[in-house]
Structure 1
Amino acid sequence: MPEGDTVRRTADRLNQGLAGRELTRSDLRWPTLGDVDLVGRTVLEVDAHGKQILTRIAAGQGSARIPSASAQPLTLRTHLRMDGSWNLYRTGSKPWPPGTQASVRAAMANAEWTAVGVWLGMMDLVPTSAESTLIGHLGPDILAADFADPAADFGVTLALERIQQTPHETIGAALLEQRNLAGIGTFYMAEALFLKGISPWLPVSQVPDVAAVVERARILLASNVVRAVQTTTGNSRPGQQQWVHARSGKPCRRCGTTIRVAGIVVGDPNRINAAPITRTGFYCPSCQPGPTPTDDGKPQRPLGSAPKTNVAGKPAQYRRR
C-alpha cells in the first residue's frame, strides 16, 4: 500500500495542476457519488493527511448531491489503498492510456490539466466543515510541516502520547496504528526499526527512545517525498533500495544474517472498533535482537523464489504434460 511519502507526492502534484483553477469536468464514478457535478467550482487546494488525499473545493452552484451543501466548500477524500493512483495529463493532449477506462474512478479537469484517479480504494465527498468525520480519528500527519515541533498542538508530542498509552503493544504495531500517527506503513516501519536496531515485537514500554524511532521514520519518509525512486539505503538501483523490507531469505546488508519475515498483530483489543489484523514485519535477527513471538523459525526463501505450482499445488516440474 502506498505510504505517506507517495501520498504526499501525489497530493503535491495534483495541487500544482488543480489548485486555483475552475473545474470544466467532474466525473466521480463511485456508487454514492455518481450524480455529483462539481463543474464551475474552483479547487482551493489538494492536501494529504497520512494516507488520505483531500481535495478541497470552493463553494458554488454545482449540483452536488449533499444536503445543504450546494453553497458550501466541499472536501473530496480519496484513498489509494493497494492499487490506486492519480495521474495528471494536459487537458486534450492525449487520450488516457489504453485499457484504463474500466479502472477510472474519478476525473476532474480544468482548461490546462486533467486529473484521473484509477483503482481508488475509497472516495467520499463532504462539506469541508465536516472533514473531521472522515479523518478526525487519525493521529498527526508525520509529514505535516509542523509535526516535529514539540509545541505543535497536533504534532509529535501528541503522537508520542498516543503511542505510550498502550505500553504493552509492540512498537511495530504502534507505528502502523494510524490513530497514533498517520502515514507509516510496513515499509517505513521495518526500515526505521532496523536502522534503530529494535525488534518490531518489542513492547513500547521497553523501547529506550520512542521519539528517536518516530524521528527516524519521519526523516525517511520526508527524504522520499522528493525522490523518483523510494530508497532508505541511499542507493536507488533495483534490489538495493531497502535494508530489510521484502528481503526475507536474503543476507542482511550489515551483518550477513538471513533477513526474516513474520506477522505483526495491529489493533488493540481494548479499543473500540479495533479488530486486530496481521501485517508483515521484516527484520534482521542479529541487528534487531529481541522477542519474535510470531516467527516459527523455519527456513525462509527469498520472496518470489518458491517453485511454481499448478492448481493442485504440485511443483511445476511434476505437471502432467
Structure 2
Amino acid sequence: MPEGDTVYLVGQRFDRALAGKTLLRGEFRVPQLATVDLAGRAVLGVGTVGKHLFTRFSGDLTLHSHLMMDGMWDVYPAGAKWRRPGHHARVVLTAADVQVIGFRVHDLKLVATPKEADLVAHLGPDLLDPRWSEEHAARAIANLAADPDRELGLALLDQRVMAGVGNLYKCEIAFLLGVTPWAPVSEVDAATTVALARKLLLANARSGRFDQSTTGHLDRNRKNWVYERTRQGCFRCGGRLLVRTQGHDVQRRPTWFCPKDQAGPYPPQ
C-alpha cells in the first residue's frame, strides 16, 4: 500500500491538472456509480487525509477514493493514449486540455462535501496535515502510547494511531530508533517516534519525488537504511539484513531489519 507521502504527491499532481477547470466528461466505470455524470461540474480542488483522496466539485460534492495496493491516478494531455489498460479504468475525468484517469482506485464514494470528514473520522492525526500543530502531535503520541505492549511495527501501520505510515517507513523508523519492529512500543519514546515519522514523510512530500529516501541520498542503492536492501545489506554497518513477516491476514508485510543495529525480538526463520 502506498505511503502517505506518495498519496499526497498524487493528490498534488491531480490538483494541478484539474483544479479550477470544468469537466467535459466525468464518468465512472463501477456499478454503484455507473449512472453518475459529472460533466459540467467545476473541480474545486483535490486534498488528502492520510492515504485517502478527496476530489471536490462544485455543488458541494466530493469524490472519495483510496489507492490501496494497486490504484493510481494518471494525468494525460487531452486525447493522449493511456499507459494502462482501459479495462482497469474506474474513473474518467476530462477537461478541455487534460484527462485524469483513476486506474484500479478503490472505495469510491460520492458524498456531500460537508460530510467528507465522516469518512476519515476513525483515523489518527494526518502526518502531512498542513495545519499540523502541537495538538495533533499530542494526539498521535497518546494514541501510540495507549498500548505499550503492542509491537511497534504494527502500531506504526495502524492508521488509527497516526495516518500516513506504510511498510517502508515502518521499517526505516524502527531502524532509526534502534529497535526491531517487533519490540514493544514501550521500548521507544512516543514523542520521538511521532516526530521522526512526520519528519521523514514531510521531507519526501516536499521533495516532490515519488522515490522516497530516508538516508538523504537519491541513488537507488543508497536511499534506504534497511527497506528492501536484502542484497546490499545494512546501509549503516554493511551487515546482513534479515527479513521476516509481520502481521496477519491482510496486514501481513515483509519486514526488513538489521540484527546488529536493532535491539529487540524478532521471529525465527
TM-score range, shorter chain: over 0.9
Structure 2 match to 1:305? none
CA distance in structure 2 between the aligned counterparts of 1:238 and 1:79, rounded to whole angstroms: 27
Structure 2 match to 1:190? 171
Counterpart pick for 1:106 among 91, 104, 112: 91
| More moved, 31-40 vs 117-126 | 117-126
Correspondence 1:37-48 to 2 at 5 A: 37-48=37-48
SS at match of 1:175: helix
TM-score by length of 2: 0.92
Structure 2 match to 1:54? 54
CA distance in structure 1 between the aligned counterparts of 2:224 and 2:165, rounded to whole angstroms: 15
Taking a change above 3 Å as real, the CA distance of residues 196 and 23 of structure 1, as seen in their structure-2 partners, is same
Shift of residue 249 of structure 1?
5.7
Correspondence 1:26-37 to 2 at 5 A: 26-37=26-37
> Which protein is richer in helix relative to its size?
2
Q: How many residues of Structure 1 are paired with residues of Structure 2 in the alignment?
A: 267
Shift of residue 20 of structure 1?
1.7
Correspondence 1:86-101 to 2 at 5 A: 86-92=73-79, 94-97=80-83, 100-101=85-86
Counterpart pick for 2:262 among 263, 288, 301: 288
Counterpart pick for 2:191 among 211, 218, 227: 211
Structure 2 match to 1:247? 229
Correspondence 1:221-300 to 2 at 5 A: 221-225=201-205, 226-248=208-230, 250-265=232-247, 277-292=251-266, 295-296=267-268, 298=269
Counterpart pick for 1:202 among 177, 183, 191: 183
Counterpart pick for 1:75 among 43, 62, 68: 62
Runs of 4+ in 1 over 4 A off after TM superposition: none
- Could you tell me whether the CA contact under 8 Å between 1:82 and 1:121 is conserved in 2? no
TM-score by length of 1: 0.78
Q: What are structure 2's unaligned runs of at least 5 residues?
A: none
Taking a change above 3 Å as real, the CA distance of residues 276 and 204 of structure 1, as seen in their structure-2 partners, is farther
SS at match of 1:244: coil
Amino acid in the other structure paired with 2:165: I
- Cα deviation per residue 1:264-295 (whole Å; 9 max; x = unaligned)? 237xxxxxxxx883333211111111122xx2
Structure 2 match to 1:69? none
How much is the aligned-residue C-alpha RMSD, in angstroms? 1.8
CA distance in structure 1 between the aligned counterparts of 2:178 and 2:161, rounded to whole angstroms: 22
SS at match of 2:48: strand
Shift of residue 229 of structure 1?
2.8
Correspondence 1:132-151 to 2 at 5 A: 132-147=117-132, 149-150=133-134
CA distance in structure 2 between the aligned counterparts of 1:227 and 1:194, rounded to whole angstroms: 22
- Cα deviation per residue 1:69-109 (whole Å; 9 max; x = unaligned)? xxxx11111111111111112223x2223x52111111112
Shift of residue 122 of structure 1?
2.6
- Could you tell me whether the CA contact under 8 Å between 2:226 and 2:233 is conserved in 1? no
- Cα deviation per residue 1:212-248 (whole Å; 9 max; x = unaligned)? 1222221211121222532112222233221111223
Taking a change above 3 Å as real, the CA distance of residues 249 and 95 of structure 1, as seen in their structure-2 partners, is closer
Correspondence 1:101-180 to 2 at 5 A: 101-147=86-132, 149-150=133-134, 152=135, 155-180=136-161
Amino acid in the other structure paired with 1:14: F
CA distance in structure 1 between the aligned counterparts of 2:52 and 2:108, rounded to whole angstroms: 10
Structure 2 match to 1:314? none
Q: Looking at CA atoms only, which structure, 1 or 2, has the larger radius of gyration?
A: 1
Bigger relative contact order (CA 8 A; separation at least 6) = 2
CA distance in structure 2 between the aligned counterparts of 1:96 and 1:105, rounded to whole angstroms: 13
Structure 2 match to 1:309? none
SS at match of 1:131: helix
Shift of residue 50 of structure 1?
0.7
Amino acid in the other structure paired with 1:210: A
| More moved, 79-88 vs 231-240 | 231-240
Q: What are structure 1's unaligned runs of at least 5 residues?
A: 60-72, 267-274, 299-321
